[in-house]
Amino acid sequence: MTATQGASLDVAALRGDFPIFAERGPEFHYLDSAASSQRPAVVLDAMDRYYRAHHANVHRGVYGLAEDATERYEHARQRVGTFLNAPDPAREVVFVKNATEALNLVAQGLGRVLLSPETAVVLTEMEHHANLVPWLILQEQLGFELRYLRFDDHGELVLDEAERLLEGAAILGVTAMSNVLGTLNPVRELVDRAHEAGALVVVDAAQYAPHHRVDVQAWGADLVALTGHKMLGPTGIGALWARREILERMVPFLGGGDMILDVTLEGFVPNEVPYKFEAGTPPIAEAVGWEVAIDYLEHRVGFELLESHEQQLTVYALEALREGLGQRIHIFGPKDPARRGGVLSFKLDGVHPHDVAQVLDLHGVCVRAGHHCAKPLLRELGELATARASLYLYNDQEDIDALVRALHDAWRRFNA
């Protein structure tokens, strides 16, 4: 029986698909998937087979092996596009090395076309640095205004001022799911408001896509960034989806081979989309692996079951942490589990987050500690750092129980 045939995920069976859990043993509790997920054997095997039997450079050779590699690479592009429900999956997906590069491509490729001192970019205060720093860099160069949507004490965006902030804006950038607070933002509502104001919308879906179906048409978004390594795929590959007419307007971000139709000593003619944004030898094996990861999520797991499993596990985690630690722990983000994903950032009284992470490691519990590449958000919370446990398909209640036990130990060590 596959995981999608039952009423709930068979976590034990799914864990058997991941070599790292057999390598590390039963006392290994991986709660850092928001930073990077683990990979099932089918992904590792697909990449290994590619390198052993199918590798050549793409878009260059006319011999059979090169054409085979090109076909596999382009099939992976098509697969990412269909996963996103892109209207034109073969032409609207640009492969990049991660969501960070995708968002930099938006800033440099689209921002330089649309922005001037008379325009503005609207972001949220909960953005990852990847959807903030590129705009700060470009602001220094072009002089446009940056505005920010605030979030409230519950970790949810305050939309009362959205109309005023969007007035005269050319671009709205928003994360679909906060990597610190777990907040699930109302993407469609924000897209509608931005479009009414004449602004394009870029969505950072790096945290959202591993856990939920992404439908760019239902969102109505203009550009969406995502990455492979957070959704069971390899590191070194991500994608920017954008409506084709937007990609046509954008200017290249990187120059070199494969992104040109012609070059002279005086200038160049860029390639057609999406290739004009893919300079140099691309991450071919990584694209092959990412395609298999998407197939695994959709067919071996199933997003409906995945969402249900994670919400139930989030409810269990919130209750277990609050009941087990009481007033000694503070969990950031929405209190309603339906309004958040399985990302639990917290502070433990009297224990620095880095000390928390080190003590948890002694118990085999892996969590992230730090500012999570979201320093402005942490400052709004009045914190320099938090510890963060993040959940995925291979986690179960025993992982949460191990987390609570380890946190008890951490508190005792520093509050004896």
Q: What's the Cα-to-Cα distance from 259 to each of 96, 253, 277, 281, 415, rounded to whole Å?
A: 13, 10, 6, 10, 59
Compute the distance between CA of residue 120 and CA of residue 118 in angstroms, rounded to an integer. 7
**Is 373 a residue of the active site?**
yes
> Which of these is catalytic: 35, 42, 44, 373?
373
Q: Under a CB-based contact definition with an 8 Å cutoff, are residues 324 and 407 in contact?
A: yes
Q: Under a CB-based contact definition with an 8 Å cutoff, are residues 159 and 357 in contact?
A: no
Half-sphere exposure of 255 (CA within 13 A, CB side): 7
H or E segment and range at residue 261: strand 260-263
Alpha helices in 54-120 (DSSP H): 64-83, 99-106, 112-114
Instruction: Output the furthest CA–CA distance in the chain (Å, rounded).
Output: 72
Residue pointed to by tokens 């919308």: 201
- What does the block give as tokens for 132? 């903030």
Residue pointed to by tokens 């118990």: 363
Residue 351 phi, psi dihedral angles, 5° rounding: -135, 125
Q: What region does 386 belong to: left with phi over 0, alpha with psi -120 to 50, or beta?
A: beta
Q: How far apart are the first and last CA of the chain?
A: 49
Compute the distance between CA of residue 177 and CA of residue 25 in angstroms, rounded to an integer. 31
Residue 376: asked if its preceding bond is cis (omega within 30°), the reply is no
For residue 205, give the nearest of 181, 244, 243, 231 by alpha carbon: 231
* Catalytic positions: 373
